[in-house]
Chains A and B, each alone.
Chain A
Amino acid sequence: MRSRLRVGWAKRSVPTLQVLAAVLAAPLATAQPIEGKVQACAACHGENGIPPDKSWPVIWGQHQGYLYLQLRDFKSGTRKNDVMGPIAEKLERDEMLAIALYFSQKAWPNLRQARALDAVAAQASRTNASVGCTGCHQAGYQGEGTQPRLAGQSADYILKSMMDFRTRRRGNNPGMSDLMNATSEDDLKALAAYLAGS
């Protein structure tokens, strides 16, 4: 069900998203205080930091460096998204850094996701031992700088991201794609469940 929702969202909703993107991009382009610029983000990323759609990422409390790099990559087109592309296209570097800083200073929301079962957590731990996720994402998967926090991120979004890296649909980090390709789908599902409940 979750999987169908994710794929369906991407395939079916393009015209709607393009309209949404145009609407959201307009206020961001004009000179205004940061609060005005980020207002539009709430439509997808949540008024209170909890995205209304589980396949959209939490950005409240995410690290500034990571958020900046994603905006940069949406702008350059190395990360493709029908909503974010047009929004980022109009942003200058300083604006991206300011928006990224704004959200990084918000408190990470609690999505109230279930803690993974012991067997699933053990499988996630073995996966980490094999490909070394915490080498970049840090102890407790808290991330830092340009490495995103994964702990407590939406399960659907994490799994979608890992699978998108695997298929190279998400093309802005080939190193991640290589690591995800060296990992089985079953192990990735265990990781997503573990991370979401962390």
Chain B
Amino acid sequence: MYGFKRTAVSAVALSAAMVSFGGAQEIKQVTGETAKAVNVPPVTQRMLDRADRDTKNFLHTNGDYRQQRFYPNAQINTGNVKRLHPAWIFQTEVKESMETSPIVVNGVMYVTTSFSHVYALDAKTGAELWHYKHAMGPITTYCCGPNNRGVEVFEDKVFLATLDAKLVALDAKTGKVVWQSAIADPELGYSETMAPTVVKGKVLVGTNGGEYGIRGFVKAYDAKDGKLIWTFDTTPENSVGVWAEKDATGRDMHRNIAAEKEQLAKSGDPYKTLGGGVWQNPAVDLATNRIYFMVGNPSPDLDGALRPGDNLYTDSLVSVDLDTGKYVCHFQYIAHDVWDLDAVSPAVLVDVKDKSGKVIPGVIHAGKTGHVYVHDRKDCSLIRFSQAMVPQENMWTLPTAQGARMLPGANGGVEWSPIAVDPELGVSYAINLHQPMTYHVESSAYPQGKLWLGGAFKVIPSEQQSGNITAVDYNTGKIRWQVKTPQPMIGGILATAGGLVFAGEGNGRFRAYDSRNGKVLWTFNAGAGVNAPPSSYAVDGKQYVVVAAGGNVQLDYKRGNNIIAFTLD
């Protein structure tokens, strides 16, 4: 219905051909002596709803509203993946950390770079169609690099959230700004690196800033004009909670509750600067009209003395109503976190077995702790947690001024990297870090829009680091298989109906694995860190896999500026 048509015409013919037909719009591009016209039909809500069955487009950052990152096209599969080779490589203007998930709509690809640039590319050839370079404000405050994780396209607009905390709607055919809204004041520590999620006319976006003493939120904007519809504050005015002494797995967190209560009486509820960033996209349950998202660490990261209480809803899975933004349920993994082992990797909706073995709507999350947590979607309650995917030692040793060693290190486990699932196999795939660290605490007042860690995390240089890809049976919590990598992994993963999972490494390797056993089936060296989630799509009946190779700021992996699309010979 929304077939992609790309017609090579002469420049003269093109100038006369800038008309819309069949509801589609045209992109005009002049490269050297050739000119091209590309149809960009509007992305409808129906297309977004059915993205899980779409073997041609890649419409959501995490594949579909459930965020399963399971691509239903099986043309590239275990039998032929060894013949995968680059179809094209596009080099962006910005050579810096890349975390973008390419979005593909009828043969047009939208990718982003650090510093909030957007490119529209011909997904078949890699030719540039347009380039949006955000006019960045002078104040940007962020913790882990000037990253951007991508866009979402709805109707005729491309939606981008920027490093200087703006929400921008671009014309999908030209890249020109249609509207722009200020999300929050960057001088107070707010910034944006996530891709927005668009559903039923609303643009949903969270915020960074857990390292800056912000008050976190998820906001919904009107896709038509950028007007704010609702705000859900991730730190409620009563953030104290139930004084939980054990984490989600039942381990004692060694809280000094008496001291916290004394501090609460003195300083009151700390919700205004309590952090609680939402780094990644919410999952959308279209049947119940609810969204599910992860709330990050409390501020300051390592110093709990200034923020008595459980620090709700930091380190939590939270669900709110899509229409109103009203609270539905939450589950907190670590109350009063002082290790930054928070909840970042996006929530995934999938049917799971409950404790009695009955299949129910579930929601799963892979934590920095290294566990995959499995929840009942109805009330957010925890059904089970998986075996640890990374070494855990000395949990929960409190940070000290001199530094206390505890594993996992503060990056995880699973960082922001989205996981994938294969619902038929009942397996989740997560990429992990193993970075031994010491945790240091040092108390200081909030420095107004400056980094506020309350101490430091320090990698122990003498200890070996590594990474892994781990497949977990989420109906039992058991690890099915694990493949170790020489470096900690960050960036994301894609599973496909071809029986494959694709993931990249900081050393430039991009690999395809057999999703049933982790066997390496194909390797490509991208020349720069592959630390972004892969996507897949098809043009003219041919399936592609695409990934960004730009390295990573947080782990200082080799920088690059490549978008690389692969296809079969």
| Given the contacts A65-B138, A68-B139, A129 and B461 also touching, CB distance less than 8 Å | yes
Are A173 and B139 closer than 8 Å at their CB atoms?
A: no
CB pair A78 B138 closer than 8 Å: no
A78 touches B447 (CB 8 A): yes
Most buried by B among A132, A172, A176, A177: A132
Residue A135 CB within 8 A of the other chain = yes
Q: In whole angstroms, what is the CA distance A132 to B451 when docked? A: 13
- Is A146 among interface residues, defined by CB-CB distance under 8 A? yes
Alpha-carbon separation in the docked complex, A182 to B163 (Å):
28
A177 and B146: CB pair below 8 A?
no
Whether B249 sits at the interface, judged by CB under 8 Å, is no
Q: Is A138 in contact with chain B by the CB < 8 A criterion?
A: yes
B145 to chain A: closest CB distance in Å?
Answer: 7
Interface string of B423-458 (1 = CB under 8 A from A): 000000000000000101010110111111111101
A134-B553, A138-B146 known; A178 vs B140 contact (CB < 8 Å):
no
Within 8 Å of chain B (Cβ to Cβ): is A144? yes
Once A129-B461, A138-B96, A182-B440 are accepted as A-B contacts, the answer to whether A173 and B455 lie under 8 Å apart by CB is: no
Given contacts A78-B447, A174-B450, contact A131 B138 (CB under 8 A): no
A64 lies within 8 A of chain B by Cβ: yes
Q: Is A100 an interface residue (CB 8 A)?
A: yes
Give residues 55-103 of A contacting B (CB, 8 Å).
Answer: 64-65, 68-69, 76, 78, 97, 100-101
Residue-wise, chain A 148-176 has the 8 Å CB interface mask toward B (1 for contact) of 00000000000000000000000011111
A178:B442 contact, CB within 8 angstroms: yes
Residues on the A chain within 8 Å of B556, using CB: 128-129, 132, 134-135
The SS class assigned to the A binding surface is helix
Residues in A whose Cβ lies below 8 Å from that of B139: 65, 68-69, 145-146
A172 cross-chain contacts in B, Cβ below 8 A: 447, 450
| Contact, CB under 8 Å: B456 / A179 | yes
Residue pair B140, A145 in contact (C-beta under 8 Å): yes
Main secondary structure of the interface of B (DSSP, over half): loop
> A136 at the A/B interface (Cβ < 8 Å)?
yes
Q: Which residue of B lies closest to A67 (CB)?
A: B138
Q: Within B200-245, which residues are at the interface with A (CB < 8 Å)?
A: 211
Looking at A69, A174, A179, which has the most chain B CB atoms within 10 Å of its CB? Answer: A174
Complex-state Cα separation, A78 to B448, whole angstroms: 10
Complex interface: chain A residues within 8 A of B454 (CB): 178
Q: Once bound together, how far apart are the Cα atoms of A40 and B429, in whole Å?
A: 60
Residues in B with CB closer than 8 Å to A134 are 553, 556
Contact B442 A135 (CB under 8 A): no
Flag if A173 contacts B136 (CB, 8 Å).
no
Q: Are B138 and A126 in contact (CB under 8 A)?
A: no
Given the known inter-chain contacts A175-B453, A182-B403, please indicate yes or no for A135 contacting B145, CB distance below 8 A. Answer: yes
User: Any chain B CB within 8 A of the CB of A130?
Assistant: yes
- Chain A residues with Cβ below 8 Å from B450 are 69, 172-175
Query: How many A-B Cβ pairs are below 8 Å?
Result: 98
List which B85-118 residues lie within 8 A (CB) of chain A. Answer: 96, 115
In the bound assembly, the distance between CA atoms of A126 and B462 in angstroms comes to: 10
Contact with B along A108-134 (1 / 0, CB 8 A): 000000000000000000101111101
- A100: which B residues are within 8 A, CB to CB? 138
Query: Which residue, of B145, B450, B461, has the highest number of chain A Cβ atoms within 10 A?
Result: B450
Residue A139 at the chain B interface, CB threshold 8 Å: yes
The answer to whether B497 has its CB under 8 Å from any CB of chain A is no
Contact with A along B146-161 (1 / 0, CB 8 A): 1000000000000000
Tell me which residues across on chain B come within 8 A of A198, comparing CB atoms. Answer: none
Name the distance in Å between A123's Cβ and chain B's nearest Cβ. Answer: 11
Find the B residue at minimum CB distance from A139.
Answer: B559
Q: In the complex, what residue of chain A is closest to B558 when comparing beta carbons? A: A139
Pair B138/A101 contact, Cβ less than 8 Å:
yes
B7 interface contact, C-beta 8 A: no
Are B140 and A146 in contact, CB atoms less than 8 angstroms apart? yes
Q: How many residues of B contact A (CB 8 A)?
A: 37
B506 to chain A, nearest CB (A): 12
Partner of A178, one of B438, B445, B449, B453: B453
* Other-chain contact of B452, A131, A132, A144, A174 (Cβ < 8 Å): A174
Measured in the bound complex, the distance between the Cα atoms of B452 and A64 in whole Å is 21
- Please tell me if B554 contacts chain A, counting CB pairs below 8 Å: yes
B143 at the binding interface (Cβ < 8 Å): yes
Which residues on B sit within 8 Å (CB–CB) of A138?
A: 96, 145-146, 553
Do A135 and B447 contact each other (CB < 8 Å), given the known contacts A174-B442, A182-B403, A182-B440?
no
> Do A64 and B442 touch (CB < 8 A)?
no
Q: Determine whether the beta carbon of B140 is less than 8 Å from that of A144.
A: yes
Do B138 and A175 touch (CB < 8 A)?
no
Residues of the B chain whose Cβ atoms lie less than 8 Å from the Cβ of A78: 447-448
- A130–B447 touching, CB < 8 Å: no
Q: Mark B450-488, 1 if CB is under 8 A from A, else 0.
A: 111111101101000000000000000000000000000
Q: Are B452 and A130 in contact (CB under 8 A)?
A: no
Name the contact of A139 in the complex, choosing from B96, B136, B144 (C-beta under 8 A): B96
CB of A181 within 8 Å of the partner chain? yes
Interface contact B138-A181, CB-CB below 8 Å: no
Chain A residues closer than 8 Å to B138, beta-carbon distance: 64-65, 68, 97, 100-101, 145
CB distance from B312 to the nearest CB of A (A): 24
A63's nearest neighbour on chain B, judged by CB, is B138
Least Cβ–Cβ distance between B356 and chain A, in angstroms: 46
Q: Which 10 A-B pairs have the closest CB atoms?
A: A175-B451, A174-B444, A145-B140, A182-B456, A64-B138, A178-B456, A65-B138, A178-B442, A65-B139, A182-B458
* Listed A/B pairs (21) with beta-carbon separation below 8 Å: A68-B138, A69-B450, A78-B447, A100-B138, A131-B459, A135-B145, A135-B554, A135-B556, A138-B146, A145-B140, A145-B163, A173-B451, A174-B442, A174-B445, A174-B450, A175-B211, A175-B450, A176-B451, A178-B444, A178-B454, A182-B458
18 further A-B pairs in the complex, CB-CB below 8 A; given A139-B559, A175-B452: A68-B139, A128-B556, A130-B461, A131-B456, A134-B553, A135-B144, A136-B451, A138-B145, A138-B553, A145-B140, A146-B139, A146-B141, A173-B447, A175-B450, A178-B442, A181-B440, A182-B455, A182-B458
